[in-house]
């Protein structure tokens, strides 16, 4: 028999004839089925007779007050049990989705993702699940990974997370690091640029702790006289502002600077240095605990949005 909730729903979704037949087949008599269903025996019998007439087959062999399934009745009973089994699972899934009317998703993200990509993910998620509370903290790539590892965040959006057993990289996408500059910068006409070319001009470097800085330092360490910098900052937004207002060169991936590029206030020049070719954007979760329902649905939604958006970003 169905569980209580599924049984309640089945009264509205399945015909009485099917339900009464199932009860009679399992109870072995019309009277016992009527007691189980809290329906008059005559009503149960009438629905079964109607079903037999509709199918053109006898479903029960009647032996006194007892009934016994015919071959046709056995086949119909098997079908109904399969149908009700599928329905039970469907009801469970529907109840799980209804649970998403409430819940909390905790997100740790790096700044660049929070500029445009993450608002798109959160906005489209909340259109489907407006009752879910979404809590976002913005930090460095290292701190975002730490928050997920320490169970302070359910899902992390970061670059180049540490190779830790407590973390699962559930989605990744490689992005090239480039130089951001105004269209009238002296290097804007160069078809190819390397970091050494850029360091001949005032630059704004990402602060230590950002994945960008780690990769840039791999290259800088092999460039003579590359220690001079114009400014260091842990904000990519500030570095873009400096590039626009002060004419310096900033460094980041295409993530986060889409609006400036579309407006033509800045241009992006991919850097040819090998360590700068693959800054790895990752969506991370904890490998030590399973995601609850709301965070799990958010994660699935985020991956779908990223798979849809990132090819367009790559094509800029």
Q: What is the CATH number of the domain that holds 192?
A: 3.40.190.10
Q: Are residues 290 and 146 in the same domain?
A: yes
Residue matched to tokens 């800085």: 213
Question: Cβ(12)–Cβ(23) under 8 Å?
Answer: no
Are 266 and 246 within one domain? yes
Residue 280, SS3 per DSSP = strand
Residues 194 and 270 in one domain: yes
Q: 8 lies in which domain range?
A: 4-100
The CATH code of the domain that includes 57 is 1.10.10.10
Nearest to 313 by CA among 119, 141, 173, 140: 173
Domain boundary among 77, 100, 123: 100
State the SS3 of 120-158.
HHHHHHHHHCCCCEEEEEECCHHHHHHHHHCCCCCEEEE
Residues 96 and 63 in one domain: yes
Residues 290 and 269 in one domain: no
Question: In order along the chain (316 residues), what is the average pLDDT of each group of 10 residues?
Answer: 51 70 89 85 88 89 85 88 70 62 87 92 90 90 91 92 86 91 94 91 87 89 74 89 92 91 94 89 89 87 86 58
Q: What is the DSSP-derived secondary structure letter of residue 193?
A: B
Same domain, 193 and 64: no
Domain co-membership, 147 together with 286: yes
Is 19 in the same domain as 95?
A: yes
33, 15: one domain: yes
pLDDT of residue 221: 86
Q: What is the pLDDT of residue 146?
A: 92
- Give the per-residue pLDDT at 253: 92
Domain boundary residue, one of 100, 131, 165: 100
Predicted local confidence at residue 93, as pLDDT: 61
Would you state the structure tokens that stand for residue 213, as one six-digit string? 């800085």
Do 14 and 92 sit in the same domain of this protein? Answer: yes
| pLDDT of the residue at 299 | 92
**Domain ends where: 70, 100, 130?**
100
In a 3-state reduction of DSSP, which class is residue 248? coil
Q: Residues near 149 by Cβ (< 8 Å), separated by ≥ 6?
A: 164, 166, 167, 286
- Kindly state whether residues 212 and 246 are assigned to the same domain: yes
Let me know whether 167 and 182 are in one domain: no
Q: Domains in the chain: how many in total?
A: 3
């Amino acid at each position: 028999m169905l569980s209580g909730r599924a049984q309640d729903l089945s009264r509205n979704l399945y015909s009485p004839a099917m339900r009464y037949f199932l009860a009679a087949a399992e109870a072995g008599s019309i009277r016992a089925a009527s007691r189980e269903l809290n329906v008059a025996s005559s009503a149960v019998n009438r629905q079964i007779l109607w079903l037999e007439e509709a199918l053109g087959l006898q479903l029960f062999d009647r032996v006194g007050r007892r009934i016994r399934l015919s071959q046709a009745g056995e086949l119909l009973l098997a079908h109904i049990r399969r149908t009700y089994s599928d329905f039970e699972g469907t009801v469970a899934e529907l109840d799980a989705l209804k649970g998403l009317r409430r819940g909390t998703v905790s997100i740790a993200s790096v700044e660049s993702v929070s500029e445009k990509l993450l608002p798109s993910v959160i906005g489209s998620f909340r259109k489907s699940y407006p009752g879910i509370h979404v809590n976002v903290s913005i930090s460095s790539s290292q701190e975002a990974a730490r928050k997920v590892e320490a169970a302070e965040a359910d899902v992390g959006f970061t670059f180049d997370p540490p190779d830790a057993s407590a973390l699962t990289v559930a989605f990744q996408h490689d992005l090239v690091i480039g130089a951001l500059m105004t269209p009238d910068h002296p290097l804007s006409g160069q078809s190819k640029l390397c970091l050494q070319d850029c360091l001949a001009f005032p630059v704004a470097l990402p602060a230590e702790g950002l994945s960008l800085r780690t990769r840039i330092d791999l290259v800088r360490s092999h460039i003579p006289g590359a220690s001079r910098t114009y400014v260091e900052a842990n904000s990519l937004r500030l570095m873009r502002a400096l590039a626009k207002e002060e004419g310096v060169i900033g460094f980041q991936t295409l993530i986060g600077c889409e609006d400036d590029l579309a407006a033509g206030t800045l241009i992006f020049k991919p850097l040819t240095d090998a360590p700068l070719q693959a800054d790895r954007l990752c969506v991370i979760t904890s490998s030590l605990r399973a995601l609850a329902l709301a965070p799990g649905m958010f994660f699935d939604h985020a991956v779908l949005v990223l798979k849809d958006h990132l090819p367009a970003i790559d094509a800029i």
